[in-house]
Structure 1
Amino acid sequence: MRDHIPVVVQGSGRRVRRAGAAGILWAAAELTVTVGVVVLLLVVHQVWWTNRQAAAAAHEQVRALERAWEDGPAGPGAGAASTPVPGPTSGPTSGPTSGPVSGSGSDSVSGPAAGPAASPSGGPAGTAPRRDGAYAVLRIPRLGLVVPVAQGIDKRAVLDKGYAGHYPGTAGPGERGNFALAGHRNTHGEPFRRIDRLRAGDELIVDVRGRRHTYVVGKVLPETTERDTGVIAPVPRSVVKPGYGYDEPGAYITLTTCTPEYSSKYRLVVWGTLRS
């Protein structure tokens, strides 16, 4: 009768350990790839899809405003330095109500109110635009930009829709004072992405029911802080960089957005004056 001699296989435990380590590495690699794909999809959604969605909705809002102006009742125009909008649009317009300037928009400046707003004609104030509602259209021929203007600078309710937001407490279109606007530079329609390309003499056209207000770019502040509320004051002048801005009362327009691109660290500011 033969004795059964056990066979000892050396190194099997080592191979098992190696196989286990390889499995862990493989699972970690799969998890890394999955996370990377998810992050990529989120970036595509944020940078590409939100742009398309907001831009399309903003263009439709412009068309809706223009249709409403065509169908609206006739009324007196506003602003002595304004000209009628081409076409049958007509009717009264009104400026914003006064109130605190909120920093809720990432492309805006934040701080106390810029001052009370008058009516567009300089007389008694009429009915103010509905909060967060679009009531005007900004056109920048140099950039091929046509974007609705809404009352307020709330990020979700205004700026993320691809609109330009009208700072509460600043002047209305065509008024003496400072008609100040904020807009996204990146994502959500990014209407102000290319305003760094604006140069002195470029036109900034604002249409409000029945009236056209044409401003001319005068000065650009390439970078300032988000707390530089002087840029949206009735006579705009930076309190951070006092060499930038104006000294005399007048009718101004201000565009603010973030800089550098894909960052909200600083603000880029473009100023213009109403063409007389």
Structure 2
Amino acid sequence: MTALRPERDSSPYGGEAAYGGADAFEADARRAEARLAEALRAEALLRQAVDGLSDPLTDPLPGRQAPQSQSPGPQGQRFAGHDETMPLRVVETRHTVEARRRAARTGPESMATAPTATMPMVSEALPPPGPASSEGGRAARRKAAKRRGRQGANRDRNGAQEGVQGGGTPDSTSSSAAPLSRVEARRAARARRPSAGTMASRLIGEVFITTGVLMLLFVTYQLWWSNVRAQAQAGKETSSLQEQWASGERAPGAFEPGQGFAILHIPKLDVVVPIAQGIDKSTVLDRGMVGHYDENSIETAMPEDKTGNFGIAGHRNTHGEPFRYINRLQPGDPIVVETQDTYYVYDMASILPVTQPSNIAVLDPIPADSGFTEAGRYITLTTCTPEFTSKYRMIVWGKMVEERPRSEGKPDALVQ
């Protein structure tokens, strides 16, 4: 029969405490603390010994000899499982973890003397002996060391990257950045993507750059290439006229619009340019020639007429610019018109620097504002002004002073 036994302060069997008494529990606690301290001290010493080795994987620990090869046979065979010393595994709690962290900060010596809470120790059972070779323990240590080395290298690399990005040194970082997840990677990519304002500003900048390049090309064409092309076309027309006159293939008479019929010489300006019928831009003026005002515009006289005003027009800028410097002419400077049979020599008489394009009175038989008061044989040169604009017109007049047949040779103005 089982009955409840009351707790008593004294034992009926000679004065011993019930269930061993409180002294027994205190003794067990002290022994457990001593064993824990001894284990921590042994672990610290072992770590110091391992750190002092040049090769932790192959060098023997202090006080031990390197493993020697065993002779074959059943008596000399050893089990790989007994090559390693398996320490007791300590179940750590919050107090133990805090104590180990403090010991790691202050040094290995404080780890052995740091106060720790009493806790049970659970030992791992040794692996059963097996037929593995004597190198099994060393191989396991080598693999573990490689794993620790890779993990440490990754932590150092990540920490160095965080330190550099944060403005510090790689040694100042204490934790490595975790890899981004897919969602975080997508968010980061969207953050790096330029905004609508940035795209708009880039587009506007590209438009401005393209416009600037096109304007530069246009200016280059107008100021350089158009002159090169027009001067080449005018020179070709001059040579063609001279060849036709020399061969007698061309008979004087009426001329078609755009057809060359004379050559203008301005010795002071070194101008030699063909004169064509009409003042059309595309077929006459833009081809580097000088145009005669005919019945399709404002009809003026021809050089061979006994009275009248021979009016011609030419570009001042671009497309050969034959009249660019006519403002430099002075009274008395010769202007020569060469035809198939005759040279007509004019002396520059006067200039009108600026007038409206609608002022066609300057082309009258007795031109207005020229200073001429009676009918005569005059020449009128018209061009645009100021330079590179067509807002106004500049007028230069001349009066015929000599009519010389080609059979008598060139006039003095072309010989000098």
Q: Does 1:43 align with 2:43?
A: no
The equivalent of 1:120 in structure 2 is none
Which of 359, 381, 392 does residue 255 from structure 1 map onto? 381
Shift of residue 131 of structure 1? 1.7
Q: CA deviation at 1:15?
A: 5.4
Give CA-to-partner distance per residue, 1:153-200, whole Å, 9 cap, x none: 111121111111000121111432101000011111111111111110
Deviation beyond 2 Å, 4+ runs, structure 1:
11-24
Q: C-alpha separation between the residues in 1 aligned to 2:277 and 2:256?
A: 7
Whether contact under 8 Å (1:171, 1:178) holds in the other structure is yes
Q: Secondary structure at the match of 1:30?
A: helix
Q: TM-score, normalised by structure 2?
A: 0.48
Question: Which one of 24, 28, 33 corresponds to residue 204 of structure 2?
Answer: 28
Q: Equivalents in 1 of 2:392, 2:209: separation in Å? A: 34
What per-residue deviation string (whole Å, max 9, x for no partner) do you get for residues 223-262 of structure 1?
A: 1111111111111114xxxxx4311111000000000011
Paired residue secondary structure (1:221): strand
**Aligned match of 1:171:** 301
Q: CA deviation at 1:44?
A: 1.0
Cα separation, 2, equivalents of 1:42 and 1:145: 26
Q: Distance in 2 between matches of 1:203 and 1:152?
A: 24
1:137 and 2:272 are equivalent in the alignment: no
- Structure 2 residues without counterparts, runs of 5 or longer: 1-182, 403-416
Matches of 2:232 and 2:301, distance apart in 1: 28
- Greater strand share, 1 or 2? 1
Match of 2:358 in 1: 227
Give the percent of matched residue pairs that are identical in Structure 1 and Structure 2.
44
8 Å Cα contact 1:231-1:245 kept in structure 2? no
Higher alpha-carbon Rg = 2
Which of residues 42, 46, 52 is equivalent to 2:228? 52
| Structure 1, unaligned runs of 5 or more | 1-6, 74-90, 94-126, 239-243
User: What is the distance in 1 between the residues matched to 2:200 and 2:300?
Assistant: 61
Question: Which amino acid letter does the alignment assign opposite residue 311 of structure 2?
Answer: A
CA RMSD across the alignment:
2.3
CA distance in 1, matches of 2:211, 2:350: 45
Shift of 1:201: 0.7
In 2, the alpha carbon distance for the partners of 1:247 and 1:17 equals 80
> Partner of 1:70: helix, strand, or coil?
helix
How many residue pairs get aligned? The number is 214
TM-score, normalised via structure 1 length = 0.72
Any residues of structure 2 matched to 1:56-67 within 5 Å, and which? 56-67=232-243
Amino acid at match of 1:41: L
1:275 counterpart SS class:
strand
Q: Which has the higher contact order (CA 8 A, sep 6+)?
A: 1
Query: More helix by proportion, 1 or 2?
Result: 2
